[in-house]
Amino acid sequence: MKELILIRHGKSSWDYNVSDKDRPLKERGIADALLVSQEWANQGKGIDWVFSSPANRALHTCMIFLRQLHLPFDRLRITDRLYDFSGDEVLQLLRELDEDLTTVMIFGHNHAFTYIANLLGNTYIDNVPTSGLVHIQFGADSWAKIEKGTTVQTIFPKHIR
């Protein structure tokens, strides 16, 4: 069975005159990412590989999770395909994943992540919030064949504050 854990980046700041890719996390974004990553870490579930958008806010959120989960940085791949807002590139990336990977964690952006969560999961989610985690399990044993799976859980900051 294949498993996908998708995490939308933490709350970002618009206070700086920087490009979209360079926007940093707000303090609340850091705090929420710590909260959600600790909740996930408490469950003790393994991750084979981590993929992140190169955007500062997504990568910073990813680093918080890697540290909380004690995952080595050599299990991280940064890819422009996750700097996607429609979901098309994200879906293509998932379908091309190495079949040796069972459980992957991805960090990226809305509206792509809400779209993917609803396309591939069986629970409708109006909006994946910042620092929100959605865990989807698939009956397929091939990433190329994933279709509608089961939304195993969601971890949203407002539910654990």
Assess contact for 93 and 35: CB atoms under 8 A.
Answer: no
The residue written with tokens 């992957």 in the block is 104
CA distances from 66 to 1, 52, 106, 136 (A): 23, 11, 12, 19
Check whether 57 is labelled as a binding-site residue. yes
Among 23, 29, 25, CA closest to 132: 29
The strands making up 49-52's β-sheet, listed across from edge to edge, are 76-78, 49-52, 103-108, 2-8, 133-138, 150-155
Radius of gyration of the chain (CA): 14
- Report the C-alpha gap between 94 and 81 in whole angstroms: 10
| Binding annotation | 57
Give the residue numbers of the binding site for substrate.
57
